[in-house]
Amino acid sequence: MAAYILRRLLLMIPTLIGVVTLTFVVTQFVPGGPVEQIMTQMRHGGSHGGEGGGGSGYHGSQGVDPQQVEQLKKQFGFDKPPLVRYMSMLRNYASFNLGQSYYQHQSVWAVIRSKLPVSITLGLWTVLLIYLIAVPLGISKAVRNGSRFDTATSVLVLTGYAIPGFVLGVLLLMLFGGGTLWQAFPMRGLTSDDFDQLSMAGKVLDYLWHIALPVTAAVVGNFAIVTILTKNTFLEEISRQYVLTARAKGAPQRDVLWKHVLRNAMIPLLTGLPAAFVGAFLNGNLLIETLFSLDGMGQLSYDSVIRRDYPVVLGSLYLFTLIGLVTKLIADVCYVLVDPRIQFDRLDR
């Protein structure tokens, strides 16, 4: 196991370098970089407020003092050749120094940390509720395969799957957010303005009150995948020979289901849990965050690309790629821990 984990860790290095290199090269050809944006503001009488380093070159400084252009290039680090900036970036990333944001006047680490609570909240509650509801539901559907219960629940989960999260969010706001019917839930933020003055119980209730609608919008469309996967996995296990043998020996149905079938059927669900959680909060749901005025990673990613805040774009991509690779490794290790019959050397094939 140790050799496999070490091999996987070493393979992460070229993967990270490849992702960062490709993104860095792309940014060199994207028009409208930070220097260009400031020059546009200056030509139209605006003021500039960006600072940092790295990104694409400047195109179109007509009508602006060349000395100002050179100062801005130096300020953003564009006075250095791309290869020099690239090597400097790799050295910094090796020590987990992600640089400074151009426009937010703080480190990329600080920017990401300020957005993570929203994304972790949405991701954690989304995955938790999906598994707590969809897994038991899938088991019940497998046991009652073909019944009215199975048909009715299939219609419900597939209907939820067909409704986009942001459409459901708009509907929830209209019904329960003061849109047209009932002002039952707040429309923005994770907490109220007087959150610090509330008791512990009051803080918990206030927090749950604020996340009820966005979490519901994010969860409903994801029930179908886990529910159907659970049902099909259980049906496949129930039809295996060891289950028929256990039943032939007179084992109670409950023991067959929970002691024999459950362990094997839960392998794909348990091993996918780390990746599902990390994916849920790292991806960030821009539409839901925007709809409910939540400032999370989805909004940060969108704003960084639009404003050409390249340190944030490159730094967050580097960090999340690293987390994704580590999570995939954890998922593989969990797979072997759940089913000892799996051998590590076969996971590489």
Tell me if 281 is assigned to some domain: yes
Tell me if 222 is assigned to some domain: yes
Please tell me the distance from the alpha carbon of residue 66 to that of residue 47, in angstroms, as a whole number. Answer: 17
Tell me if 141 is assigned to some domain: yes
Q: Tokens 């459409």 sit at which residue? A: 167
Residue 143 is part of which domain span?
Answer: 109-306
Q: Domain tally for the chain?
A: 1
Global confidence as pTM: 0.73
Q: In the beta sheet, which residues pair with residue 177?
A: 183
Tell me if 135 is assigned to some domain: yes
The per-residue pLDDT for range 246-279, each reduced to its tens digit, is: 878 877 877 777 777 877 777 777 767 766 767 6
| Ramachandran bin of 263, using left for φ above 0, alpha for ψ from -120 to 50, beta for the remaining angles | alpha
Tell me if 209 is assigned to some domain: yes
Q: What is the pLDDT of residue 226?
A: 86
CATH of the domain at 219: 1.10.3720.10
Tell me if 207 is assigned to some domain: yes
* Mean pLDDT across 92-97: 88
Distances (CA, A) of 314 to 57, 106, 107, 277: 16, 15, 13, 22
Tell me if 144 is assigned to some domain: yes
Three-state DSSP string of the chain: CHHHHHHHHHHHHHHHHHHHHHHHHHHCCCCCCHHHHHHHHHHCCCCCCCCCCCCCCCCCCCCCCHHHHHHHHHHHCCCCCHHHHHHHHHHHHHCCCCCECCCCCCEHHHHHHHHHHHHHHHHHHHHHHHHHHHHHHHHHHHHCCCCHHHHHHHHHHHHHHHCCHHHHHHHHHHHHECCCCCECCCCCCCCCCCHHHCCHHHHHHHHHHHHHHHHHHHHHHHHHHHHHHHHHHHHHHHCCHHHHHHHHCCCCHHHHHHHHHHHHHCHHHHHHHHHHHHHHHHHCCHHHHHHCCCCCHHHHHHHHHHCCCHHHHHHHHHHHHHHHHHHHHHHHHHHHHHCCCCCHHHHCC
Q: How many CB atoms sit inside 10 A of residue 281's CB?
A: 24
CB distance 235 to 307 below 8 Å = no
The per-residue pLDDT for range 190-239, each reduced to its tens digit, is: 888 788 888 888 888 988 888 888 889 888 888 888 898 889 888 888 88
CB distance 226 to 138 below 8 Å = yes
- Of all residues in the chain, what percent carry a pLDDT higher than 90? 7
Q: Mean of the per-residue pLDDT values for the chain?
A: 80
CB distance 214 to 288 below 8 Å = yes
* Mean pLDDT across 34-49: 62
Q: In the beta sheet, which residues pair with residue 183?
A: 177
- Predicted confidence (pLDDT) at residue 149 exceeds the cutoff of 90: yes
- Give the residue, 166 or 278, on which the prediction is more confident: 166
Q: In the beta sheet, which residues pair with residue 100?
A: 107
CA atoms within 13 A on the CB side of 37: 18
Please tell me the distance from the alpha carbon of residue 294 to that of residue 218, in angstroms, as a whole number. Answer: 13
Tell me if 233 is assigned to some domain: yes
- Of all residues in the chain, what percent carry a pLDDT higher than 70? 83
The per-residue pLDDT for range 167-178, each reduced to its tens digit, is: 888 888 888 876
